[in-house]
Amino acid sequence: SSITIDIGGMWLEDAANPPWQILDDRPAETTIGPYGYLLIWADDDIGHTPGLHAGFKLDKDGDQISLYDTDGTTLIDSIIFDDQDANISYGRYPDASDDWYNMPDPTPLLPNTVGMAATPYFSHPGGTFATNFSLGLATKSPPAQIYYTTNGDEPTTGSTLYTAPFTVNLTTWVRARAYEPGLVPSPIVSETYIKLDPDVQSFSSNLPIVLIDSFGANIDNADRSHHPISMVFIDTDEIIGR
C-alpha cells in the first residue's frame, strides 16, 4: 500500500484457536510504512521479545490464517494452505498479487522472490505390490510440466515428460520434478514400488520382515561408493501375531 497503516488492535486467527488481537499499545512495532513489511511470528510464544509473537502456532501440515479489522468481524485477508516444507516459504508472487507459490528462499521483511513450481504427487504410495497397477503423477499447478525417471537419475527437462498414467509391472524407483516457466523447479520427489514374487506373496512369519531391493546391483562387502536401495519394513499384526 502507498499509505502508512497501523495494524495494532486488529485480529489474527487460525483454524483451531481463538482469535488473537495484535497489540495496540506498541505502534512502533505495529505500524507499516508505505510499501513496507511487518513480521509476526505465529509460534504461540507471546512472551518472547523482541518482535510480535501471535498467541497461536500454525500447523505445518495445513492450516488457515485470517486477518480481521479492529472490530473482530470485518475480514481483511485470509489464506488456506496445505502441507509445508521446512525452509520453504509460501506467499504471493509478485507481492500483492492473487497468485500463491512456494519459494525456496524465504525473505522476511523483504519482497517475495521468484516462486517455485508446486511439488508433484503420486497416485499410489510407495511399498510392495503383487498386481500391476497404473501410476499417475499430478501437480496443483495446471501450467506445470512433470518430468520423471525410473533409473535413479535426477529428473531434468531432458527426462521423460509425464503425459498420462503408466503401468508399473516390476520393481521401480520413480523420481519426479515439476517445471513451470518463470519459476524455480520443484523439489525432487520419489516413490519406490517393490514387486513381490509369487513365492513371497503368501509368506508368513511371526517375526518382522525386512525387504531390500538393490535394483539389480550386486552388493557385497567390498569397499565401494554408496548405492541406492529400497527397503520396506513389515511389522507383525498386533492381533494375530504374524
The confidence score (pLDDT) of residue 161 equals 98
Residue 150 CA, chain-centre distance (Å), reads 22
Going by pLDDT thresholds of 50, 70 and 90, the confidence category of residue 238 is confident
Q: Contact, 67 vs 76, CB < 8 A?
A: yes
The confidence score (pLDDT) of residue 7 equals 97
The confidence score (pLDDT) of residue 36 equals 94
Going by pLDDT thresholds of 50, 70 and 90, the confidence category of residue 205 is confident
Domains of the chain: 5-84 (no CATH), 117-242 (2.60.40)
Distance of alpha carbon 193 from alpha carbon 125, whole angstroms: 8
Kindly state the average pLDDT of the residues 159-185. 95
0.75 surpassed by pTM: no
Is the pLDDT at 224 greater than 70? The verdict is: no
Q: Torsions phi, psi of 53, nearest 5?
A: -125, 120
Per residue in 116-159, pLDDT (tens digit) is 998 999 999 999 899 999 999 999 888 999 999 999 899 999 99
Q: Which of 176, 116, 180, 189 lies closest to 147 in space, CA to CA?
A: 176
Going by pLDDT thresholds of 50, 70 and 90, the confidence category of residue 6 is very high
Q: Torsions phi, psi of 200, nearest 5?
A: -95, -25
Per residue in 22-78, pLDDT (tens digit) is 999 999 999 999 999 999 999 999 888 788 999 999 999 999 999 999 999 999 999
Kindly state the average pLDDT of the residues 165-178. 96
Give Cβ neighbours of residue 149 (< 8 Å, ≥ 6 apart). 155, 159, 160, 174, 175
Segment 133-139 long-range contacts (CB within 8 Å, at least 24 positions apart) = 133/167, 133/168, 134/165, 134/166, 134/167, 134/168, 135/165, 135/166, 135/167, 135/168, 135/174, 135/193, 136/165, 137/162, 137/176, 139/178, 139/186
Q: Which of 150-154, 180-184, 213-217 has the lowest mean pLDDT?
A: 213-217
Kindly state the average pLDDT of the residues 223-239. 76
The confidence score (pLDDT) of residue 242 equals 67
Kindly state the average pLDDT of the residues 5-21. 95
Per residue in 76-95, pLDDT (tens digit) is 999 999 999 888 899 998 88
Name the average pLDDT for the chain. Answer: 90
Q: Contact, 65 vs 58, CB < 8 A?
A: yes
Residue 47 CA, chain-centre distance (Å), reads 30
Q: Which three cell numbers stand for residue 173?
A: 524407483
Kindly state the average pLDDT of the residues 203-212. 82
Is the pLDDT at 213 greater than 80? The verdict is: no
The confidence score (pLDDT) of residue 86 equals 87
Three-state secondary structure string covering the chain: CCCCEECCCCEEEECCCCCEECCCCCHHHHEECCCCCCCEECECCCCCCCCEECCCECCCCCEEEEEECCCCCCEEEEEEECCCCCCCEEEECCCCCCCEEEECCCCCCCCCCCCECCCCEECCCCEEECCCEEECEECCCCCCEEEEECECCCCCCCCEECCCCEEECCCEEEEEEEECCCCECCCCEEEEEEECCHHHHCCCCCCCEEEEECCCCCCCCCCCCCCCCEEEEECCCCCCCC
Q: Torsions phi, psi of 224, nearest 5?
A: -165, 165
The confidence score (pLDDT) of residue 167 equals 98
Beta-bridge partners for 137: 122
